């Protein structure tokens, strides 16, 4: 009986840790509609467009996990963006992307 309780407690701890793993981060997934020097506009699967600011610390990662740069992004690329909210603004921490027709970058678990 005690081992079941300990197992249940461990599972609860694991689930709560996973729930807070990204803290206050937001995730934006969809297709790039527009690229500006300081932001990207992403059309999400629900049809809504979201602007995400690019900052000097933004990291770009290609589908194969290699480091990339802003100039590697193109309109139509599929993206998963990890962003930090500040009021109504989202600032990109990391942008994972793949070209159209390629499997989408894996989303966080």
Distances from the Cα of 53 to the Cα of 35, 57, 66, 98, 105, angstroms: 10, 11, 22, 19, 20
pLDDT digits (tens, 9 = 90+) for 29-72: 999 999 999 999 999 989 999 999 999 999 999 988 899 999 99
5 phi/psi in degrees, rounded to 5: -65, -45
Q: What is the pTM of this model?
A: 0.71
Q: Tell me which of 97 and 106 has the higher pLDDT.
A: 97
- pLDDT confidence tier of residue 28, bands split at 50, 70 and 90: very high
- pLDDT confidence tier of residue 24, bands split at 50, 70 and 90: confident
77 in Cβ contact with 31 (< 8 Å): yes
């Amino acid at each position: 009986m005690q081992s079941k309780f300990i197992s249940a407690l461990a599972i609860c701890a694991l689930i709560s840790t996973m729930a807070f793993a990204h803290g206050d981060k937001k995730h934006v997934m969809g297709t790039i509609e527009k690229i500006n020097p300081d932001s990207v506009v992403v059309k999400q699967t629900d049809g809504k467009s979201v602007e995400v600011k690019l900052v000097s610390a933004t990291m770009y990662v290609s589908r194969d996990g290699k480091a990339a740069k802003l100039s590697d992004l193109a309109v139509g690329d599929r993206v998963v963006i990890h962003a930090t909210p500040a009021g109504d603004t989202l600032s990109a921490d990391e942008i994972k992307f793949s070209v159209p027709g390629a499997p989408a970058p894996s989303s966080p678990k």
